[in-house]
């Protein structure tokens, strides 16, 4: 159990002007709750250097009625312990490193003596529950109600719930650099709404109204977790797309995020929350357009009013991260079992909700594409002498001593690895063995056991490559060269992974092409494809279209001198030397292994170095 509360203030927060007006770091210090010390760690640890982030609007303080007579009903609002139990169970299930919660009751002002009401908040209850699960730290930023009401002031809230509603960050480890950034500002002016409202509505907006909107606080809560490169942020943006003003305010808030996090967007950021808009909404574009999204096509919120024939579904909750050479999200899930799907009506006794919130959590696993061993460095697979060997990357383009992870039956196989197919946060291996497509689950450290059969009747000379998600559904995909054509297999992640029927995406000219997957070589947010023409020895970059295909019309000559005799085998290393560029390995006719470091523009293979002078000729059939 908790052996005391550590209360720490974070002062010295500053103001600066963002794209949408003055961005104010909150004057109030953010309180830090420490659930300490660890009594028992969970038995299944997350992969080292990976990051598992859960974002969830827990609907902790809306005041609507179950009978549907008022809007904003929150399931089990006055039973906060039920919500907290579900949060902890979800964190345990996914071995989360970070929890980003919206509409959570907590505190932001440091006090010498904790009030009784604090003991009833989601924040305190959660800290108590996490106390025996490692050293979790919790911070909170209030998003006060316009009337100043606390969580205890809602109907039935007294003596069961306390604190102020807002956003909460919980991180497992040592926290630092806590910031509370106000996405609106006291000096919000009419001019800030220019171009965001219709002309007539803009003309009627008064300075007093603009100022009032600015005084309605909308916090962005950020912190850093020791040992991780990313700044972690959560927020809850203005709701509603039924009025021009709500969309204008959300755009202003998004501009403020882009301005205040400008340096972090390019270097390392994970931001999640209830953003009250679809990912493609223009209101989110100022910051979201510069980041990669944890993509999953499942809706995250629904409402079902009395008299409606069906529920209304919304895609409002998201997690984004800094765009890298290869996508950082290796798993994106939406757990709809934790979202109430019942129709409003009656009361909670006669018509109980099916879950504790009206939103579903978004669960994102971040990792390093190409990393099988779990050390955050891309690795190389090779089929050699009928075995499958894992060569661990050293983070500099070189390789360590190989480990045999498949002892027999691999002769003639085409292997690839790019993406988590089994929803456990580890990158898995896909192989064409004979005429079957097989999925081998990574059991940890790159070891494999049995396999799932993905497809049969595949021509036994088919060459496959894992591309990550090119179809845009949030799941890893495969590209295959078979005969003279290029095909895409859309992956389906889960306990029983599968692929959909092959889709032809290249109609001819692929017979002599050897594919490789560099990730997003040109840094435009879409996975690309490399292909070596065995006829003329040229290496081509095909840019991803973002719609499940590659653009052949403007392919780029990425390199030359890659004839089959000169460079028998090629494999993309993702970002094997961790410098942010797409890399590649290739063997030589003499048996050496070369490393190509890529270029910032992603338009050619870059400088090469020799990784091994010999040993890569005899017996090695393929590599990935």
Report the pLDDT value the prediction gives residue 151, as an integer from 0 to 100: 87
Contact 559, 532 (CB under 8 A): no
In CATH, the architecture of 380-623 is: 4 Propeller (2.110)
Q: Which residues of the chain have pLDDT under 50?
A: 1-31, 34, 36-48
**Alpha-carbon torsion angle 79, 272, 467, 460, nearest 10:** 0
Beta strands in 498-612 (DSSP E): 498-499, 503-506, 513-519, 528-533, 539-544, 550-559, 570-574, 583-587, 593-596, 608-612
What are 336's two structure tokens? 């709809």
Confidence at residue 109, expressed as pLDDT on a 0 to 100 scale: 56
The pLDDT value given to residue 247: 95
Residue 237 in 3-state DSSP?
coil
- Please list, residue by residue across 35-52, b when 16 or more beta carbons sit within 10 angstroms of its beta carbon and e when fewer do: bbeeeeeeeeebbebbbb
In sequence order, the 6+-apart residues with CB closer than 8 A to the CB of 592 are 610, 611, 612, 613, 614, 616
Rounded Cα distance, 11 and 75, in Å: 36
pLDDT in the model for residue 469: 86
Q: How far is residue 136 from each of residues 37, 462, 548, measured CA to CA in Å?
A: 9, 48, 40
Q: Is 193 helix (H, G, I), strand (E, B) or coil?
A: helix
* DSSP secondary structure letters along 475-519: S-EEEEEETTEEEEEEEE-SSS-EEPPPEEEE-SS-TTEEEEEEE
Residue 360: what pLDDT?
98
CB burial string 574-593: b at 16+ within 10 A, e below: bbbbbeebbbbbbbbeeebb
- CATH (residue range 51-366): 3.60.10.10
Q: How many CB atoms lie within 10 A of CB 570?
A: 23
Q: Where are the CATH 2.110.10 domain residues in the chain?
A: 380-623
Q: How far apart are CA 270 and CA 257, in angstroms?
A: 12
| pLDDT score, position 519 | 84
- Other CB atoms within 10 Å distance of the CB of residue 226: 9
Query: Does the predicted TM-score (pTM) go above 0.95?
Result: no
Condensed to tens digits (0 to 9), the pLDDT of residues 443-491 reads: 999 999 889 999 999 999 999 999 988 887 878 899 999 999 999 999 9
What pLDDT does 580 receive?
A: 80
Both tokens assigned to 276: 């009250």
For residue 243, give every residue at least 6 positions away whose Cβ sits within 8 Å of its Cβ, in sequence order, or none.
Answer: none
Indicate where the chain has its CATH 3.60.10.10 domain(s). Answer: 51-366
Handedness of CA 42, 44, 48, 54 (dihedral sign): negative
């Amino acid at each position: 159990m908790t052996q005391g509360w550590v209360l720490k203030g974070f002062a010295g927060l500053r103001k600066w002007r963002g794209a949408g007006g003055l961005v104010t770091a909150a004057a109030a210090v953010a309180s830090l709750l420490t659930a300490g010390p660890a009594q028992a760690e969970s038995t299944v640890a997350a992969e080292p250097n990976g990051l598992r982030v859960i974002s969830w609007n827990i609907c902790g303080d809306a005041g609507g009625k179950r009978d549907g007579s008022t809007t904003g009903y929150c399931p089990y609002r006055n039973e906060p312990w039920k919500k907290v139990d579900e949060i902890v169970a979800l964190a345990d299930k996914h071995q989360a490193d970070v929890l980003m919660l919206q509409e959570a009751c907590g505190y932001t002002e440091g006090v010498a003596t904790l009030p009784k009401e604090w003991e009833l908040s989601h924040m305190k209850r959660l800290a108590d529950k996490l106390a025996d699960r490692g050293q979790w730290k919790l911070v909170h930023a209030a998003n006060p109600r316009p009337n100043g009401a606390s969580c205890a002031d809602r109907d039935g809230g007294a003596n069961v719930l306390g604190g102020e509603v807002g956003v909460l960050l919980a991180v497992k480890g040592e926290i630092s650099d806590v910031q509370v950034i106000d996405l609106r500002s006291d000096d919000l002016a009419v001019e800030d709404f220019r171009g965001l409202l219709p002309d007539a509505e803009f003309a009627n907006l008064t300075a007093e109204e603009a100022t009032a909107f600015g005084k309605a606080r909308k916090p962005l809560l950020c912190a850093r977790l020791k040992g991780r490169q990313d700044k972690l942020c959560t927020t809850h943006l203005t709701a509603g797309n039924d009025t021009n003003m709500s969309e204008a305010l959300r755009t202003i808030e998004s501009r403020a995020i882009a301005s205040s996090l400008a340096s972090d967007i390019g270097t390392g950021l994970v931001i999640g929350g209830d953003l009250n808009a679809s990912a493609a909404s223009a209101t989110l574009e100022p910051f979201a357009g510069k980041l990669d999204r944890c993509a999953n096509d499942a809706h995250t919120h629904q409402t079902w009013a009395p008299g409606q024939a069906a529920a209304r579904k919304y895609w409002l909750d998201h997690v984004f991260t800094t765009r890298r050479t290869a996508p950082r999200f290796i798993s994106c899930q939406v757990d709809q079992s934790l979202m109430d799907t019942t129709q409003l009506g009656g009361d909670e006794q006669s018509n109980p909700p099916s879950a504790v919130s009206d939103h579903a959590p978004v669960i994102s696993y971040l990792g390093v594409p190409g990393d099988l061993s779990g050390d955050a460095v891309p690795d190389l697979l090779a089929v050699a002498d009928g075995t499958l060997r894992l060569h661990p990357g050293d983070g500099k383009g070189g390789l360590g001593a190989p480990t045999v992870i498949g002892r027999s039956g691999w002769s003639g196989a085409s292997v690839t690895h790019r993406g988590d197919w089994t929803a456990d946060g580890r990158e898995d291996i896909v192989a064409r063995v004979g005429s079957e497509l097989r999925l081998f689950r990574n059991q940890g450290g790159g070891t494999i056991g049995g396999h799932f059969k993905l497809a049969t009747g595949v021509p036994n000379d088919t060459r496959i490559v894992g591309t990550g998600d090119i179809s845009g559904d949030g799941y890893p995909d495969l590209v295959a060269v078979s005969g003279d054509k290029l095909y895409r297999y859309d992956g389906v992640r889960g306990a029983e992974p599968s692929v959909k029927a092959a889709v032809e995406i290249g109609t001819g000219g692929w017979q002599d092409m050897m594919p490789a997957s560099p990730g997003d070589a040109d840094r435009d947010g879409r996975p690309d494809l490399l292909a070596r023409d065995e006829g003329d020895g040229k290496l081509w970059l095909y840019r991803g279209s973002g719609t499940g295909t590659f653009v052949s019309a403007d392919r780029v000559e990425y390199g030359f001198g890659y004839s089959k005799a000169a460079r028998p085998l090629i494999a993309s290393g993702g970002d094997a030397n961790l410098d942010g560029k797409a890399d590649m390995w290739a063997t030589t006719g003499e048996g050496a292994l070369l490393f190509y470091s890529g270029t910032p523009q992603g338009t050619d293979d870059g400088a090469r170095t020799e990784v091994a002078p010999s040993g890569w000729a005899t017996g090695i059939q393929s590599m990935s």
